[in-house]
Structure 1
């Protein structure tokens, strides 16, 4: 399993943005990463300044959202959807998409559940609970 460091993740997003601005071709995960970046114009100025933001900490207790984590979660969701993992995720996403009306809003709904499940796994030092993830989505859909 690929497990990049914080610096590698940040360099990846800075690099994708720089390539896009230079009109260079993107490869592999760079295109879905760019899609997420383009959907979040509030991060463009940050991505224009890698020297300033490469090492910046984002503290949740200060009410800050880590833009690199946020963008990475979009990539994780895109990958999960591409392989329907956990099984049933894609169907739930399609229903959220229909209700929300756009992909970013639907992905943010999924992201709420994904973030909660990651937090729970870290907090309790357990494996990621795929069933709880799906149940969280079911609650958002009004199925639970």
Structure 2
């Protein structure tokens, strides 16, 4: 399993964004990363400054969302939807699309994924995929 360091994740997103801006070819996960970054203009200055990206910290107690965590969760959701893993996530997402735009729907998944990961870490257990899908359905008003 690939387990990049904090700096590697930040460098990856900054490099993908730089390639996008310079109209250089992007490959593999860079394609999704550049697309996700493009939909987050609030992060463009940060992504264009790798030094700032590597040296800055965001803490929950400061009330700040870590931009790289946010982008990474989007990337994880992109992967989950592409392979329908956990099973049922694509159907749950498609149901959300009937009521909201794709980015809003991704943010519903993002919040549910973040909560599911937090719960698993807090309890010292594996991530509960069924609870994750159920949370998406509940948040989206489905049953």
Shorter-normalised TM-score: what interval?
over 0.9
Quote the residue 1:135 is aligned against.
Answer: 134
TM-score for the superposition, normalised by structure 2: 0.96
Q: Distance in 2 between matches of 1:126 and 1:79?
A: 22
Q: 2:111 — aligned with what?
A: 112
Moved segments of 4+, more than 2 Å:
141-144
**DSSP-derived class of the 1:121 partner:** helix
User: Per-residue displacement from partner, 1:40-93 (whole Å, max 9, x unpaired)?
Assistant: 000001111111221211001111010001001111000000110111100000
Shift of residue 2, structure 1, vs aligned partner: 1.3
Cα distance in 1, alignment partners of residues 141 and 51 from structure 2: 45
- Counterpart mapping for 1:1-144 below 5 A: 1-100=1-100, 102-144=101-143
TM-score where L is the length of structure 1: 0.96
CA contact (8 A) 2:17 2:34 kept: yes
Measure, in 2, the Cα distance between the counterparts of 1:15 and 1:3.
18
List runs of 5+ in structure 2 lacking aligned partners: none
For residues 55 and 98 of structure 1, what CA distance do their matches in structure 2 show? 41
- SS of 1:23's equivalent in the other structure is coil
* Gaps in structure 1 of 5+ consecutive residues: none
Query: Match of 1:85, SS?
Result: coil
C-alpha distance in 1 between matches for 2:52 and 2:29:
24
